Amino acid sequence: MKRKFYKTLLEWKNKYINTPIMVVGARQIGKTYLIEEFCKAEFEEWISINFDLHDEIKAIFEETLEPEEIVKRIEISLGRKIDIEKTVIFFDEIQVSERAISSLKYFCESKLSYKIICAGSLLGVKLRRFKSSFPVGKTRIEYMHPMDFEEFLLALDKQMWIDEIKNCYEKSERTIIHEKLMNLYRTYLCIGGMPEGVKNYIDAEQDILLFDRKIISNIIVSYLADMNKYTLNNGESIKIEKVYRAIPASLARESKEQKKFKYINIEKGANKKNFESSIDWLMSGNMIFKCSVVNDIQIPLSVYVNDNYFKLYINDIGLLTSILKPDYADILLNREFRFKGGMAENYVAQAFVANEIDLYYWTSGNEAEVDFLINNKDGIIPVEVKAGDSTRSRSLDVFMKKYKSNYAIRISAKNFGFENSIKSVPLYAVFCIQ
């Protein structure tokens, strides 16, 4: 399946190849598969070393950080000669070896043209707690995410539909395939962007009744297992799991005020002191996203963040759907159900993060609340998310009058359009927003 992150790897090869690249992302999003496909297609020779599986190679880094000696010993371990000029070396699950991460500095500084790619399922957590000498400035760090809706369409061989979406988004013109795209969007809510789930849907001839829901639930089980494997102690992993399980319940609440994450929702007596580090762990592992409220609409928005008020989202809509366990029929037939609004918000947050849009929201107390804010060439743009096709946008009106925005964006089930300074963007076209 085609992934947009392939372009990031190509850019590294063409511009920065002698600087090791570190691909950071959550488990099961397709990092290993994509990197190995990239290595096969773009280099004459390649070597893949998984530190979870090659203890003898992991031990090499405990004895030396000198690149030439490391490669020499890897050759002996693998029983093959490595042509440095032609070969790219892929270190997978590199978070297992802190010494291997430290060695990247010396690979970068070597006079020989080493080509090193690294990846890890909880690499972000490892980097946050790194104790050795981290190769600052000697490593490119790139973040990879689950498949967004555009990549989902690519997997379904719908390039023409992608072109139609992008064209209609730019021109704010209605599309004649709106209902077909909305149906695929609802299917995506059920499956999500985990490559294994998308592949299963395709293999099942795109019949949602034949889709294996256990694939997604098993990924959640593997996430929970990682919490035990990569935490300092059992107590920490228990707290992290409690936070993770509390997020869907918050998003399932009906009012926007209730969707704000409150520590008390984790357990009775919970507070920031006890659980803030657990949230940081999940964010470092790219398993959740944080959307912070801002106290003032000024550039840069990051300066005006109020750390005491925020919303949390799961990194993939398919995982959220699996946890919430709604009836697929309710989603696919567009019925009204309790989780509908929260699922739409989570979907948009996931798409924004994939497009490197920082997550912020605005509220004026009980008067109004805007789901997201985007800072682009037109200034700070308010974004409202609606799961249905309602055109009521009181919060947008309040925001635009107060801050004189050039326009606003309403993401909903409605077709493309532009009216009363509001750009209507269908839910399936969120990937177009930059």
Q: Which of 244, 294, 283, 246 is nearest to 268 (CA)?
A: 246
Dihedral sign for Cα atoms in the order 294, 257, 242, 348: negative
pLDDT digits (tens, 9 = 90+) for 398-431: 999 999 999 999 999 999 999 999 999 999 999 9
User: What is the number of H-type helices and E-type strands within the chain?
Assistant: 18, 14
Q: What are phi and psi of 138, to 5 degrees?
A: -110, 5
Find where tokens 């009775």 sit: 268
| Sign, CA torsion 117/123/127/129 | negative
Q: What is 64-80 written as a DSSP string? A: ---HHHHHHHHHHHHTS
Token pair in block for residue 420: 């009363």
What gap in Å lies between CA 378 and CA 127, rounded to an integer?
A: 35
The candidate with the shortest Cα–Cα distance to 20, out of 102, 128, 123, is 102
Spatial separation of the C-alpha atoms in residues 148 and 154, rounded to whole Å: 10
- Residue among 255, 259, 297, 293 at smallest CA distance from 398: 297
pLDDT per residue rounded down to tens, the chain (434 residues): 899 999 999 999 999 999 999 999 999 999 999 999 999 999 999 999 999 999 999 999 999 999 999 999 999 999 999 999 999 999 999 998 999 999 999 999 999 999 999 998 888 877 777 777 678 789 999 999 999 999 999 999 999 999 999 999 999 999 999 999 999 999 999 999 999 999 999 999 999 999 999 999 999 999 998 888 888 788 999 999 999 999 998 888 766 666 789 999 899 999 999 999 999 999 999 999 999 999 899 999 999 999 889 999 999 999 999 999 999 999 999 998 888 999 999 999 999 999 999 999 999 877 789 999 999 999 999 999 999 988 788 899 999 999 999 999 999 999 999 999 999 999 999 999 98
The number of CA neighbours under 13 Å toward the Cβ of 123 is: 24
Give the separation between CA 154 and CA 371, rounded to whole angstroms. Answer: 28
